[in-house]
Structure 1
Amino acid sequence: MPSSPDLYAFVRGELVPLTHAYLHVSDLAIQRGYGVFDYFRIHETQPLFVEDHLDRFYESARLMQLDVPMSREALRETVLELAQRNNLELSGIKLLLTGGYSTDGYTPVPEQASLVMIQQPLTMVEQSVVDRGIRIMSHEYVREVARAKTINYTMGIRLLQRLRELGLDDVLYHQQGVVSEFPRSNFFIVRQDNTVVTPAQDMLFGITRKKVLQLASQQYPVEEGVVTLHDVWQAKEAFLTNTTKRLLPVVELDGQPIGTGKPGEVTLSLLAAFQELEQAALAKASVV
C-alpha cells in the first residue's frame, strides 16, 4: 500500500502518519497470518453502514478468539476521528485486528493484540464494467472459518495469475459443485421465475448481501440456500455483491454464458435500489 505523508492511520492506540504505520515483526499477522478485518466506505467523513460492519468485526473477532482492545463506542469514535483527520472525498477504512505481538511466534497474547485502522482513497467500479458484466471461473475450495472475515486470502491471491492468463475477472468457490462465494464478494443468481437466490453455507455474511436481500424481498421471491454450478448455468441472471462493487452482473461462468450473456433487468433494478438505499442512509446519518 503506498504511503502518503498527508494521511493518518491508527496503530495500537495511536493516530500516526501513514508513513510511520508499522507493526513489529513478532506480530501474528506477520508470523502466522492470524487476524481478522473489516472494510467499509467513507463518503467525505461519513461511514456507510458502519454499525453493520462493526457487528461483523466483533463477530469475526469472537470466532477467531480475539479480544478487541477497545469498546464499540470508542472504536466508532476513533473511526470518525480518523475520517475527519484525513478528510477524503471518497475512501475506505480497513479495521484490522491481529493476534498481536507473540514471544514464541505462535501463541496470541491478549494484552498485545494489534488493532489497526487504515484509510485510503477509493475509486468505485466503472459504469462500463456494470454495462458489460464480468466473466468468471469456478474453483473447488472452501475458506477455513468461512463465517469470519480473516486476513487469509492465500487461495484468491494464488489464482490471480490464472485469471490473468484466461482473461477472466474473478473466481467463484465451490465444493463438489455447491457454490459458496468469491474471494472478496458474495454471489447471487436469479432463476427464470425471478426468484433471487444466494448461497447460505461456507460463506461470509456480507453487508451488501444483507442489504440486497432486504431490498429484493420487497420485489421478488428470495431464498437463501444451496446453489450449484448447474443452477448457475440454468439461471436467468447472476451477480456479485461487495462494498466497492455494489452489485456487479456476472454474465459467464467457465466459458458458458449465464442467461442471455448480458446484465439482466433484475440485477440492474436491485443495483438502482441499493444506490438509493446508500443515499438515504448517508443523508440520515448526516443529520444525526
Structure 2
Amino acid sequence: MSVESLVVYVNGEYVPRAEARISVFDVGFLRGDAVFDTTSAWNGRIFKLDAHLERLELSLRAARIACPVSLEEVRGIIIETTRRSGLRNAYIQTIVTRGEPPFGVRDLTQCRPGLIVFAIPYVFILNPERGGGRATIASTRALPVQCLDPKIKSLSRLHFDLAMLQGKAAGMDVALMLDLDGHVTEGPGFNVFVVKRGQLFSPPEGILMGITRLTVFELAAEHGIPAREAQLTPYDLYAADEVFITSTAGGIMPLVEIDGRPIADGKPGPVSQRIHGLYWQLRESGKDAVPIFD
C-alpha cells in the first residue's frame, strides 16, 4: 500500500492524499480550534465506531462547534474513506474544524465548519516487537479542566507535543504527564494503568475518556480482574508491579521503565500480557466492529 493511493475526505469531496487541502484561514489551522476522534480498523472492521462517534458528538457540543453533516453521515464517510483507501488495518481520524469566517470577519459564530476524514495504515505508539516501552514523566503539566477539559478531544495539543519532545530528547519512548497537583493523568494519545497485587488502577480525572481504556475495564469485569479508578502519583508508578498504556494506536502496551527505574523486574508482567491478549482476541473476533468491505 503506497501513500499515493490513500484517499482523504475534505469538505464534501473524496480526493487523493496529495490533493487534500484546507484554507489557511480555517481557524482549525490558525488556532487549533477543532475537535477530532480517532478510531481504527483491524481485519477490515472498524472497532467501536459508534462509541467513537458518540465521543465526537460530546466534544462538538462542549466546544460549541456544529458538524456540517449528521453523525450518521459522518459514520458513512468514515467507512467509505477507509474503503477507498483499500486498508484492512487502519488508523482513522475524523476532524471537525470550526472553519473559516467570512473574509475580514472575526466573529467565530459566522464560521462555516469543515469536516476532514483520513485513513492511514495502522500505527503503534510502541513497537509491538519490543519487550515493553521506556517512559519519562514530563515537566510540562496537563491542562487543568478549568482551562480546557481533556474530555474534549481537541486539536489544541501543544502541551502534548512539548511532553513528547522532552521524552524523545531523553531517549524515552513516551512521556507521562501530571496535573498541577502532581497526580498522574495521561500521555500524548494514551491512558495509563497501574497493576498492584493483581488489581488495575487508572486515573479518574484530568484525562480523555479513552475508548481503549473503557474496553480494558469491560474486559477486566468480564474476566474477573479487579479494576477501578484511583488517583496515582509518580510513586505509584515507580512502585507498581506493572504499568501499561492504552490507545487506539496499539491497544495495550506495557512500560518496563519509568525515569530510569525498572518496573518490578523490568519485563512485561502477567496481568498486562493477559489484558493485551484479551484485547487482541476481541479485535480478531470482529465483535463490536463494523465491516468496511462487506
What TM-score do you get using the length of structure 2 for normalisation? Answer: 0.89
Any conservation in 2 of the 1:99–1:110 contact (CA below 8 Å)? no
Residue 223 of structure 1, CA deviation: 1.0
Q: Who is 2:141 aligned against? A: 141
Are 1:27 and 1:105, in contact at CA under 8 Å, matched by a contact in 2? no
Instruction: Give the Å deviation of 1:65.
Output: 1.0
Deviations 1:35-61 (A, max 9, x none): 111111123543121111111111111
Unaligned segments of structure 2, at least 5 residues: none
| Counterpart contact for 1:134–1:249, Cα < 8 Å | no
Deviates most, 172-181 or 275-284: 275-284
Supply the RMSD in Å over aligned alpha carbons. Answer: 2.2
Cα shift readout 1:229-285 (whole Å, capped 9, x = no counterpart): 122122111100001221111122222222222211000000000111112235864
Query: Where does residue 153 of structure 1 map in the other structure?
Result: 157
Aligned amino acid, residue 127 of structure 1: P
2:273 paired with 1:268: yes
Q: Is residue 2:90 matched to residue 1:91?
A: yes
Q: SS where residue 187 of structure 1 aligns?
A: strand
Q: Distance in 2 between matches of 1:121 and 1:187?
A: 24
Q: Single out whichever of 110-119 and 91-100 deviates more from structure 2.
A: 110-119
Please name the residue that 1:128 is paired with: 129
**Greater Cα offset, 178-187 or 148-157:** 148-157
Distance 1:208 1:157, change over 3 A: same
Q: Deviations over 1:179-206 (max 9, x none)?
A: 1100110000011x21100001100001
Counterpart contact for 1:90–1:121, Cα < 8 Å: yes
Q: Whole-Å Cα distance in 1 between the matches of residues 74 and 278 of structure 2?
A: 30
Distance across 1 between alignment mates of 2:290 and 2:157: 33
Following the alignment from structure 1 to structure 2, what is the Cα–Cα distance between the partners of residues 203 and 102?
Answer: 31
**Post-superposition offset of 1:208:** 0.5
The residue type equivalent to 1:271 in the other structure is H
Specify every segment of 5 or more residues in structure 1 that has no aligned partner in the other structure, as ranges. none
SS in 2 for 1:249: strand
SS of match in other structure, 2:198: coil
* 2:210 equivalent to 1:211: no
Match of 1:7 in 2: 6
Q: Does the aligned pair in 2 maintain the 1:100–1:113 contact within 8 Å?
A: yes
**Higher relative contact order (CA closer than 8 Å, sequence separation 6+):** 2
Kindly tell me: are residues 263 and 16 of structure 1, through their superposed partners in 2, closer, same or farther at Cα, counting changes over 3 Å?
A: same
Q: Distance in 1 between matches of 2:99 and 2:171?
A: 39
Distance 1:72 1:132 in 2: 37
Residue type at the aligned position of 1:25: V
1:251 pairs with 256, 269, 277, which one? 256
Q: Hey, what does 2:231 align to over in structure 1?
A: 226
Query: In the alignment, is the contact (CA less than 8 A) between 1:139 and 1:172 conserved in 2?
Result: no
Contact 2:135 2:167 in 1 (8 A): no
Deviations 1:60-117 (CA, angstroms, capped at 9, x unpaired): 1111111112112211111122122221232221100111002457543466101110
Distance 1:182 1:283, change over 3 A: closer
- 3-state secondary structure, aligned to 1:219: coil
> Kindly tell me: are residues 268 and 96 of structure 1, through their superposed partners in 2, closer, same or farther at Cα, counting changes over 3 Å?
same
Output the amino acid matched with 1:119: A
Secondary structure of the 1:184 match is coil
Residues 1:119 and 2:119 are matched in the alignment: yes
2:236 is paired with a residue whose SS is helix
For residue 170 of structure 1, what is the aligned residue in structure 2? Answer: 174
